[in-house]
């Protein structure tokens, strides 16, 4: 309380005591205010920490739910097979959503820990993470031992004995290292005849040994296997301290592709010797003088694993500037067997195929036929399409999809059985369903108006019914052409990276490299390791032993060599 002027003491001693008393009162008031402020701040920190914990728990729960839902969908697909295109799109969307939720949950966890560090009464939330898989046994390991204490932290004594150790494993990346290999060939002269002797130069993957086999394999695999253009590779090399221009890399790609041509020819002969092929094509932009033209990449895949065949799977690719039928007819000129494809007439006209010594038997893809019905029965697509928004789905298309689903369910059950077992199961289970579907389609077609959208997919099947029904006559035939479509999937995804092929020769070069890389993947062989070994050995092998470098035989020889070394 402030004293009034009339109440002030007359002497200095009393005034001094009054001033001290007032200062003590002011300090006490300040202490009360500070205490109240600290209490408010502490309560606020506790509230913030609790809110951060709640948000972290919520984000973790959302990520966990999304993870479990994704796992359930994947288990369903693994158990029952891919049921529809919509299921595949759903799983892709769920995987992207899970990524975002996990990242958000991690950020919220870090925020909760930071908020909890400001208060001692709230324990921070910690997410439960899945058990990490162990690192590979052959991975390089580096042991870093922190200097141990020399004296006791409690009493200062120096008599310490080791009780144990705690080890923390951290996965680290060692930047790519480059080295220059100097190959020295010493010259000697004869003192008797003065002739000069020198050992012959070893084989190099490229002329003058400018690029080693492993580096050449990396360049080619990154370009054609991972769809990384050479200009991006050049930029990455520059960041790592190595100057390799785009033109220099392109020069090495030309050398590498030329060296692989004998292997391409062997794979081609193996593919067209198969009893059954999958054929398909996709677009590829090819640069012309003034603009890009729409070319084509054709693929033919032999894969007998669905019916337990012994032949190794392989794929061959060709490039063309257009989709005229003369291109696939040239590819198939010497082939006679079963060709599974869509209903493109350009593969080979029936009149030409029937005149061959060994004619081509066409078996059409039911996935293409089902897809035409599915597009009319896809509720989500209809809702997104403004032109069809509000229109009901086609009941005929929906029933056709359901009938097809029953056929595909039988195919999943017999996948991997022998051709004879597959044929017997189809005659017993699939034939009644397919024959009934045939009669049903003919009845529905007769009652439809000309404006009905279901006419097109129905006619697509009825006009080619013999080709669609051929799977009931041969157990080697599959219900779909998915093997060829899988072989083209990488091209469809990679087009966005490399934009276009520089020329027709560039497209042909890509077809050669895609053939060897895809064949490696079909045989569970690492394409990059295979390329490096082939570039190191191909010139030293005689022509009679080139077949040892085929991916499936290379895998067998490598396995034998590893077992012998062990």
> What is the tens place of the pLDDT at every residue in 185-194?
888 888 888 8
Q: Are 341 and 481 in contact (CB under 8 A)?
A: yes
Q: Select from 231, 203, 209, 207 the least CA-distant residue to 219.
A: 231
* Position 385 confidence tier, pLDDT thresholds 50, 70, 90: low
pLDDT of residue 456: 87
Contacts of 24 (CB under 8 A, 6+ apart): none
In this prediction, residue 558 carries a pLDDT of 81
Residue 223 and residue 185: Cα distance in Å, rounded? 34
Q: At 341, is the secondary structure helix, strand, or coil? A: strand
Burial of 23 (0-12, 13-18, 19+ CB in 10 A): exposed
pLDDT tens-place string over residues 223-263: 888 888 888 888 888 888 888 888 888 888 888 888 899 99
Distance CA 534, CA 541 (A): 10
Structure tokens at 122: 């709230």
Query: Is residue 267 scored above 90 in pLDDT?
Result: yes
Per-residue model confidence (pLDDT) at position 272 = 93
Please report the pLDDT score of residue 497 as a whole number: 66
Q: What is the mean pLDDT of residues 402-420?
A: 89
Look at residue 410 and give its three-state secondary structure.
helix
Written as six digits, the tokens of 61 are 């729960």
Phi, psi of 491 (to 5 degrees): -65, -45
Which residues are bridge partners to 317 per DSSP? 299
More confident residue, 440 or 357: 440
Query: How far is residue 253's CA from residue 234's CA, in Å, rounded to a whole number?
Result: 13
pLDDT average, residue stretch 541-548:
89
User: What pLDDT score was predicted for residue 354?
Assistant: 58
The enclosing H or E element of 513 equals helix 504-522
Do residues 103 and 127 make contact, with C-beta atoms less than 8 angstroms apart?
Answer: no
User: What does pLDDT average to over the chain?
Assistant: 81
Q: Give the C-alpha separation, 441 to 401, whole Å.
A: 12
Q: Higher confidence at residue 125 or residue 529? A: 529
pLDDT at position 330: 86
For residue 317, what pLDDT is reported? 94
């Amino acid at each position: 309380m402030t004293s009034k002027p009339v109440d002030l003491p007359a002497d200095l001693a009393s005034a001094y005591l009054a001033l001290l008393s007032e200062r003590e009162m002011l300090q006490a008031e300040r202490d009360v205010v500070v205490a109240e402020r600290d209490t408010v701040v502490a309560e606020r920190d506790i509230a913030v920490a609790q809110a951060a914990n709640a948000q972290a728990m919520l984000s973790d729960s959302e990520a966990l739910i999304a993870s479990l839902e994704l796992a359930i969908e994947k288990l369903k697909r693994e158990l029952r097979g891919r049921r529809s295109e919509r299921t595949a799109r759903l799983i892709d969307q769920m995987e992207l959503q899970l990524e975002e939720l996990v990242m958000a949950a991690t950020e919220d966890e870090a925020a909760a820990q930071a908020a909890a560090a400001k208060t001692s009464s709230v324990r921070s939330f910690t997410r439960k993470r899945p058990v990490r898989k162990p690192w590979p046994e052959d991975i390089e390991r580096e042991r870093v031992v922190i200097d141990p204490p020399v004296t006791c932290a409690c009493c200062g004594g120096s008599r310490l004995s080791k009780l144990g150790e705690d080890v923390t494993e951290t996965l680290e990346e060692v930047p790519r290292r480059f080295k220059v290999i100097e190959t020295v060939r010493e010259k000697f002269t004869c003192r008797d005849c003065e002739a000069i002797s020198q050992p012959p130069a070893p084989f190099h993957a490229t002329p003058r040994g400018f690029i080693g086999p492993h580096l050449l394999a990396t360049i080619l695999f990154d370009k054609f296997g991972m769809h990384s253009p050479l200009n991006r590779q050049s930029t990455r090399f520059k960041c790592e301290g190595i100057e390799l221009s785009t033109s220099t890399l392109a020069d090495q790609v030309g050398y590498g592709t030329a060296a692989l041509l004998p292997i391409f020819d062997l794979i081609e002969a193996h593919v067209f010797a198969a009893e059954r092929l999958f054929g398909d094509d996709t677009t590829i932009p090819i640069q012309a003088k003034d603009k890009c033209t729409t070319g084509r990449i054709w693929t033919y895949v032999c894969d007998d694993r669905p019916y337990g065949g012994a032949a190794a799977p392989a794929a061959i690719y060709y490039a063309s500037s257009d989709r005229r039928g003369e291109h696939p007819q040239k590819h198939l000129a010497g082939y006679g067997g079963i060709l599974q494809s869509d209903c493109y007439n350009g593969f080979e006209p029936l009149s030409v195929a029937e005149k061959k010594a060994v004619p081509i038997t066409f078996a059409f893809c039911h996935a293409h036929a089902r897809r035409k019905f599915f597009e009319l029965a896809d509720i989500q697509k209809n809702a997104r399409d403004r032109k069809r928004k509000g229109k009901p789905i086609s009941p005929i298309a929906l029933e056709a999809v359901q009938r097809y689903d029953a056929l595909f369910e039988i195919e999943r059950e017999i996948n991997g059985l022998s051709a004879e077992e597959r044929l017997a199961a189809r005659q017993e289970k699939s034939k009644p369903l397919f024959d009934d579907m045939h009669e049903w389609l003919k009845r529905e077609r007769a009652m439809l108006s000309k404006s009905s959208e279901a006419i097109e997919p129905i006619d697509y099947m009825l006009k080619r019914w013999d080709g669609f029904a051929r799977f009931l006559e041969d157990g080697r035939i599959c219900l779909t052409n998915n093997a060829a479509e899988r072989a083209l999937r990488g091209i469809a995804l990679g087009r966005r990276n490399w934009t276009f092929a520089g020329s027709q020769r560039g497209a042909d070069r890509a077809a050669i490299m895609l053939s060897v890389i895809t064949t490696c993947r079909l045989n569970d062989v690492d394409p990059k390791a295979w390329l490096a070994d082939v570039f190191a050995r191909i010139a030293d092998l005689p022509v009679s032993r080139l077949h040892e470098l085929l991916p499936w035989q290379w895998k067998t020889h490598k396995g034998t060599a590893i077992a012998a070394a062990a």
